[in-house]
Amino acid sequence: MNYSKRNWIFFPGMLALFLLVSGCGTKKPPVPPTPPSPKPVTATLSANPSSIQRGQSATLTWSTENATDITLEGNKVDASGSQTVSPTQTTTYHLSAKGSGGTQDATAQVTVAQPQATPTPTPTPSLTEEQLFDQSVKDIYFDYDKADLRTESQQTLARSAEVIKAHPNWKVRIEGNCDDRGSTEYNLALGERRADAARQALQQAGVAAGQLHATSLGKEKQVCTEATEDCWQRNRHDHFVLVH
Amino acid sequence: MLRLTKARLALLFLLLALPLAQALAQDWIRTGTNRGAPIRLAVPDFKAANADPQTGPLNAVFNETLWYDLENAGVFEMVAKSFYPLQTPGSPSEIKLDVWGNPPPSAAMVAFGNLGVAAGKVDVQGWLFDPKNPGFPQVLGKQYKEDASTDSARLIAHRFADEIIFRLGGGIQGIAESKIFFVGTRGGSKEIWSMDYDGAGQKQLTHMGSVALSPRISPDGSRLAFSALTKDSWQIMMYSLDLGRTVAFPRFGGDNFSPAWSSDGTKIALASSMNSGLSEIFLADSSGAGAKRLTTGKGDVSPVFNPKTNGQIAWVSGRSGLPQIYVMDADGSNVQKVTDQGYAVSPAWSPNGLLLAFSWIRNYGPGIPGSQDIYLMDIASRQIVQLTHDGGRNDFPSWSPDGRHIVFQSNRGGTEQIWSVLADGTHLQQLTRQGRNTQPNWSFK
């Protein structure tokens, strides 16, 4: 039984293989024949209407030329076509067209107007505190892998802050959530950043630190499970819970 | 960076196992597993030693387990059973060495023996013979006796396999008795489960009723740290394998995730938002005392010690945008970013301290449906090779104690399940099938 000897016998062959493998890295690419100059790739994408109310739909229309590989939001699509979307938040759609002439990208934004801002409801005896909280402290939404507050989220938080300040007895838990595409542990850290962003904004708007508790739920509490941009967007949110 | 095919990766693995080639090729990935040319091993089914009704079934379990262990050890070329002589040797007096050593089996080693059940005990005698050395053919001779049960038959097979692997595999301890801990959903909520390294004996350990994540077994195998969602925050929990229940561990402020043990069992690293509201890496005694902050992060998580030295920690940070892998000294100094593109998470440090396994969406961006695969990085040279290629999202790699295998989660089959693979990319095995199973963590021994 002499296994170390076996290695020595194999060694010259192995060394040759080793050189072969290392050689592969330095191989020069063959000089390609001069190809006919490819036609340039073009791509256009438009949204109609480009501004909708929440719950309404918009139509995305796109066309491309000289492209072989066309994707809309990462999904393969025909060279030209249209598709109906109903985003819940302002969304930028991304068209990518690839061909021998290069790659061309186009984007179109659908702006979603928030529902008519209801005047801050005055507490009436008919409304429980929970009902008031649910009506006035709304979820905010985030871009993919981002924890920055969107403009509309800042407005939402400003309205929430007024109501929370008016109820100094309230304790509010801010739950940061992520869609299910990221990795479990990293999403916990990302959810933490999303919750913390809202906490800071509410404090800056005058809410007492002691009223707020930020926590992350990562991707552990999904509100929907479809693999669609709409569902992913619904899951990338801060949710607010009245804990008293 | 290199792009290697699976065949080339296997070749590389083989090459670098040679000590001299290792010295020559310092800029190549080294697995440090000392793998030479695979040894041709014949393992005829063990012979039934008697006619007890339990003998047959337990012998079948034993033979299946022994074959699986040896085939998946990564050091043998198993001689196909179709080449074996018809007569099965059950003891040294019954083996014809020349028949095994010559073609067609041409075995360099033969493992054989017998199993019998008597008076409620299962009795196994096993030998390892070198047929090319007729004067002194015996390499191993072992006897095992346990209460007769399926579990005992499996345990004895694991122990005999580990003896053979230790003797022929370059003196590295086998892993047949190692365990894998993971998160399972079969009971409804996410709880911590354990199983044998081959997927047998899956059982639920925790009953938190909320969400339990990130199991990490202690180096001595006695305690399991994990993170659980409590009433209003995530806390590090400690489960005693000896007591079969959770035991006390300090509650920290904020949220606390992803514990990691130093290989000497004295320290625990974790991610916590206790300081700033954002998740940062902390280092504490294994009792949880003396927690001190190592990073000032913008989403720091998933620390892991270099188990060879415990002097370095790798972790994931979103400080520069998409998550990347970083390495620092265990006192928080000397921070280095070791990945620079895509979406890189879940570092796992190899037992020999030379390699980082991690999960990577290498090509990341709008319109690019990049796959998420397991990669290995040689820390010293930053060379990277891709380990998985078969689609799906592959995440949470964890090394076997011998550094030869990697277990990971993948949804390649539709749902998230636990898979294992040799560190050269071969011998892919699916270990779980029920429910959804994630975040595997291989025991230290």
Instruction: Provide the token pair at A117.
Output: 């801002």
CB contact under 8 A, B395 and A21: no
Residue with tokens 């997927």: B199
* Dihedral pair phi/psi, residue B168, rounded to 5°: -105, -10
Of B273, B321, B345, the CB nearest to A186: B345
The interface residues of chain B toward chain A in range 14-53, judged by CB-CB distance below 8 A, are: 14-15, 18-21, 24-25, 36-37, 39
The interface residues of chain B toward chain A in range 135-154, judged by CB-CB distance below 8 A, are: 139
Domain of residue B138 covers: 39-168
* Same domain? A143 vs A72: no
- Distance from the Cα of A8 to chain B's closest Cα (Å) equals 9
* Same domain? B281 vs B347: yes
CB contact under 8 A, B279 and A216: yes
The predicted-structure confidence for A3-16, as pLDDT tens digits, reads as follows: 444 444 444 444 44
Estimate the crossing angle of helix A129-136 against helix A151-165, to 10 degrees: 160
Residue with tokens 């076996």: A6
Of B404, B428, B408, give the one whose Cα is nearest residue B418. B408
Query: By CA distance, what is A95's nearest residue in B?
Result: B367
* Dihedral pair phi/psi, residue B50, rounded to 5°: -155, -175
ipTM rounded to 2 decimals: 0.88
Query: Is it the case that residue A18 has pLDDT exceeding 90?
Result: no
Q: Give the CATH number for residue A48.
A: 2.60.40.10
Which pLDDT score is estimated for A116? 53
Residue with tokens 């916590």: B272
Q: Which of A120-134, B226-240, B246-260 has the lowest mean pLDDT?
A: A120-134
Query: Is it the case that residue A210 has pLDDT exceeding 90?
Result: yes
Assigned domain for A121 exists: no
Q: Give the CATH number for residue A162.
A: 3.30.1330.60
Give the torsion sign (CA, B62, B65, B69, B71): positive
CA–CA distance from A96 to each of A48, A85, B370 (Å)? Answer: 19, 18, 14
Instruction: Provide the token pair at B47.
Output: 């012979």
Assigned domain for A2 exists: no
Residue with tokens 């040894």: B39
The predicted-structure confidence for A159-205, as pLDDT tens digits, reads as follows: 999 999 999 999 999 999 999 999 999 999 999 999 999 999 999 99
Domain of residue A51 covers: 42-113
Assigned domain for A137 exists: yes
Helix or strand run (H / E) with residue B358 = strand B355-361
Instruction: Provide the token pair at B355.
Output: 């390699």
* Same domain? A149 vs A186: yes
The predicted-structure confidence for B181-198, as pLDDT tens digits, reads as follows: 999 999 899 999 999 999
Query: Is it the case that residue B171 has pLDDT exceeding 90?
Result: no
Alpha carbon distance B304, B327 (integer Å)? 9
Domain count for chain A, please give it: 2
Question: How high is the mean pLDDT of chain A?
Answer: 81
Which pLDDT score is estimated for A193? 97
CB contact under 8 A, B301 and A1: no
Assigned domain for B18 exists: no
Alpha carbon distance B9, B253 (integer Å)? 45
Within 10 angstroms of residue B393's Cβ, the number of other Cβ atoms is 18
Which pLDDT score is estimated for B367? 63
Contact B272, B256 (CB under 8 A): yes
Residues of B in contact with A173 (CB under 8 A): 232
* Same domain? B357 vs B219: yes
Alpha carbon distance A63, A77 (integer Å)? 10
Of B15, B255, B396, the CB nearest to A14: B15
* Same domain? A106 vs A139: no
Query: Is it the case that residue B63 has pLDDT exceeding 50?
Result: yes
The predicted-structure confidence for B313-341, as pLDDT tens digits, reads as follows: 999 999 999 999 999 999 999 999 999 99
CB contact under 8 A, B277 and A94: no
For residues A35 and B71, which has the higher predicted lDDT (pLDDT)?
A: B71
Which pLDDT score is estimated for B264? 98
Query: Is it the case that residue A31 has pLDDT exceeding 60?
Result: no
Residues of B in contact with A94 (CB under 8 A): 366-367
Assigned domain for A12 exists: no
Strand A102-113, strand A51-53: pairing: parallel
Query: Is it the case that residue B7 has pLDDT exceeding 50?
Result: no
Query: Is it the case that residue A101 has pLDDT exceeding 60?
Result: yes
Alpha carbon distance B26, B318 (integer Å)? 31
Query: Is it the case that residue B443 has pLDDT exceeding 80?
Result: yes
Return the bridge partners of B217, or none.
Answer: B224
Alpha carbon distance B340, B326 (integer Å)? 10
Residue B383 is which amino acid? Q
Assigned domain for A67 exists: yes
Within 10 angstroms of residue A128's Cβ, the number of other Cβ atoms is 10
Mutate to test the interface with A, among B35, B211, B227, B301 (most CBs of A within 10 A): B301
Of B190, B279, B396, the CB nearest to A192: B279
| Most confident stretch, B31-40, B118-127, B357-366 | B118-127
Residue with tokens 């062959």: A13
Give the torsion sign (CA, B79, B85, B91, B95): negative
Alpha carbon distance B70, B169 (integer Å)? 11
Mutate to test the interface with B, among A184, A193, A216, A241 (most CBs of B within 10 A): A184
Which pLDDT score is estimated for B368? 65
Contact A219, B345 (CB under 8 A): no
Within 10 angstroms of residue B368's Cβ, the number of other Cβ atoms is 13
Residues of B in contact with A73 (CB under 8 A): 366-367
Query: Is it the case that residue A114 has pLDDT exceeding 70?
Result: no
Q: Which residue among A113, A139, A174 closes a domain?
A: A113
* Helix %, strand %, coil % of chain B (to 5): 15, 40, 45
Residues of B in contact with A6 (CB under 8 A): 36-37
Question: How high is the mean pLDDT of chain B?
Answer: 91
